[in-house]
Structure 1
């Protein structure tokens, strides 16, 4: 039994800066993504994508190269980045992989680092930790109760001394 083989003849040429591949079907024509060179037969260099490879890849996870045709990152975006091509920073108030973590309480209302969540000038007085998300209230409460207790002891001593004299 003989098998049929279908052959598709494609002409490749440049139109301006774009590589265009046109099958011998007059109904189809379009820009071919991910190729460059005088005859549009070279794939994009690592880190580039698009028609004629004119765009730089975004911030792909683990420094992987993006798709030479779409610019999409196969394993997703590095921490602090989002979008199909990983070129958009996390929105204000978020950080980390997939922009899935909320920023802590940064001093002066500063924005946290979109990658690590660290606050550039430190934490608001009530908060501590690398990402300024731990309440420091327990330390503050124990310190204030110590001061209040100290004042009460001094008052008792003063009253006792004044009754003696």
Structure 2
């Protein structure tokens, strides 16, 4: 985006049927131009909101486009054994102010966590757990005779994570 320029980026994104963009390190206070270009081109800027002050949560949630990505806990992404005890309260606060669907990610790695969260959000993002599973299956994925078996195992694993949503 920086190399192309914002307007050229959005024109190219529109041409290539991009449905939304997420810029992880873009502070909300610096996002107005991107949000306006997103509105004008129909490509929403997906905002991230972390468990911070209620005032900041309201500011970000009330201006969200597309969907709102809630960061489950402060810090880096990755698999976590437990989620913060305050997560449900945080999600409830976000949903109170959001006009768009609310999803939660960062550390979601078990079907039990998905089950716990499903009544507080509209979706979950599971990233690191899936990457870890791919890494575990990497050797099988490299061999033609075992590739289908590995893909089937990956599909079973991914479905097991989302089973509470069905």
TM range (shorter): under 0.3
Higher strand share: 1
* Higher RCO (C-alpha under 8 Å, 6+ residues apart): 2
Higher Rg of the two aligned structures = 1
TM (normalized to structure 1)? 0.23
TM (normalized to structure 2)? 0.23
Higher helix share: 2
